[in-house]
Each structure stands twice: as structure tokens, then as C-alpha cells.
Amino acid sequence: MMNRSWILGMTLALAATLGIAQGPGGPGKGFDGQRPARMHRMAPGGGGGLMSPLVARALNLDEAQKTAIRDRMKSAMEEAKPLREQQIALRKSIEEAVKSNADEATLTRLANESGTLTGQMQAVMLRARSTVHNQILTADQRTKLADIQKEYRGKRGNRGKRFGPKAAPAAPPNA
């Protein structure tokens, strides 16, 4: 469960950073009018996350950039597919190990394998993100995207943060 949440979190972060803008297909559609990849539907805010039509217009993405971004992200998802399949199989092994009261060495080995696969998947997506950021977006678009991300993070506040200091509970009203 922790790995699924982490993978989903990484996917959402990537989608929020570099998701593909909705094209002329309208809400919930990709550039070519087809449904976008799941990670783009799952982005915060839905419908492409930060790469909504408004942001795509703000970045002034041309059709060639939209196509290049879509192709690079699709390629990354294909590259990560065998890793995701291995992770699914590993989750089954982990569940069996837990239910069978496996020894600590086995649990540690399985956890390490899961961490390695997760890291490999993250590396695939980070390479794609880097390609989009450094080879597809222009310098002006990168600056504008950073401004949009900063504004988005400011609006999100601490929502979604799982670690770190917690705010003190509100004091009860005086009765």
C-alpha cells in the first residue's frame, strides 16, 4: 500500500509538472482528442493538472511541443511498464510473505527489491521530465512553468504532506 501511494504520488507530481495539455478534443481529452494517459487524468485538479488548457496557453505550447511532450511521456510509460509489472508481482510476494510470517531477512530482501524497482521507475520518469524541461520547453516557458508551479504550491499549502512537523491542534473555544 505504501508503495502504491508513493508511486501514485510520484506520478501525480510528474503529471502536475509536465502533464500533457488538453488538446482540441475538449475536457478529458488529449491532444489527439483521445483520452489521455491515466496519470494525466489523475493529476491534481483533474483534466491534465497544471498542464490544463489555461496553462498550455500560458506556456504558449505549439503543436510540435505538444506532440513531443506526449510522445516522450508515452515512451517513458512504455519504458516503465516492465518495472510496474515486476512491482505488481513483487507486491504479491510481499503479501504472501507477510501472511506466512516470513523471517526478517526475507521481508528486508523484499522491501529492498521494492525500493529498487520504485527507484528505477522514478528514474525513468525523471529522465522524461528532464527531457521535456530541457529539450522541449524554451527558456521562457521553463520560467513561466516555474512561476505557475510556485503559485500552485502556494495555493496547495500543506495539503498532501505526510511527513514533517504537524500544526498544533486548535485550542478549544472557551466555554
- What is the Cα–Cα distance from 82 to 58, expressed in whole angstroms? 35
Domain extent for 123: 2-153
Q: Are 58 and 144 in contact (CB under 8 A)?
A: yes
Query: What is the identity of the amino acid at 148?
Result: I
Check whether 94 has a pLDDT greater than 80: yes
Higher pLDDT, 5 or 141: 141
Domain assignment present for residue 164? The answer is no
Three-state DSSP class for residue 70: helix
**What integer best gives the mean pLDDT of the chain?**
74
Query: What is the identity of the amino acid at 40?
Result: H
Instruction: Record the pTM.
Output: 0.59
Check whether 121 has a pLDDT greater than 90: yes
Using pLDDT thresholds of 50, 70 and 90, give the confidence band for residue 44.
very low
Domain assignment present for residue 166? The answer is no
Cell of 118: 520504485
Check whether 129 has a pLDDT greater than 90: no
Cell of 18: 509536465
Domain assignment present for residue 160? The answer is no
**What is the model's pLDDT at position 31?**
46
Domain count for the chain: 1
* Mean pLDDT across 98-117: 95
Domain assignment present for residue 43? The answer is yes
Domain assignment present for residue 8? The answer is yes
